[in-house]
Amino acid sequence: MSDTHSHHIVCPHCAQVNRVTEGKELTAKCGSCKEPLFDGHPANVDGNAFMKQINKSDVPVLVDVWAPWCGPCRIMGPEFEKAAHELEPQMRFVKLNSDDEQAISSRLGIRGIPTMLLMHHGREIGRVSGAMPSSQIVAWAKEQMASVRTPA
């Protein structure tokens, strides 16, 4: 009998929920579409995939809420990707287009973009607005996760 732990990871390609053995996240492939579960690139998600990512995944989800017309959003895009290279698979990186998903953006209370949200098990852990370099994204995300693990 094995004492290994597993957790649920939502595929960024097809949104299927996968059970992955702890420590195997970097090499794991989706059981449905066979794509890698983590590839170091933020996933562009629609509303349904976003909801599945934040509600069904056991890993925290860092969300970049952006729009294609937003200059600071376009500047931050490559920085968000660099941060994904550094922090995956400890957290999932997704991009939510606020123009395409206005109802979700409104429900999330997005007032300005770019806005990053760190979500875990369906609830918001942290939020910050404004473009930032990858080093600042990584530091902010780690700080938010550390506050979650600290007993209240």
Q: Is residue 90 part of a domain?
A: yes
Going by C-alpha positions, the residue among 52, 66, 62 that lies closest to residue 105 is 66
Q: Is residue 95 part of a domain?
A: yes
Mean pLDDT of the chain: 92
| Per-residue pLDDT at 57 | 94
Q: Is residue 34 part of a domain?
A: no
Q: Is residue 11 part of a domain?
A: no
| Per-residue pLDDT at 5 | 85
- Whether 73 sits among the annotated catalytic residues: the reply is yes
According to DSSP, the residues that pair with 123 across neighbouring strands are 120
Q: Is residue 28 part of a domain?
A: no
Q: Is residue 52 part of a domain?
A: yes
Residue span of the structural domain in which 119 resides: 40-149
Catalytic residue (choose from 11, 14, 30, 73): 73
Q: Is residue 80 part of a domain?
A: yes
Q: What is the CATH number of the domain that holds 142?
A: 3.40.30.10
- Whether 33 sits among the annotated catalytic residues: the reply is no
Q: 5-50, pLDDT tens digit by residue?
A: 889 999 999 999 999 998 888 899 999 999 999 999 999 999 999 9
| Per-residue pLDDT at 23 | 87
Q: What's the predicted TM-score (pTM) here?
A: 0.92
Catalytic residue (choose from 11, 14, 33, 70): 70
Average pLDDT over residues 138-151: 81
Number of domains present in the structure of the chain: 1
Angle in degrees, CA 4, 123, 39, rounded to 5: 55
Q: Is residue 7 part of a domain?
A: no
User: Which residue reads 């990512």 in tokens?
Assistant: 53
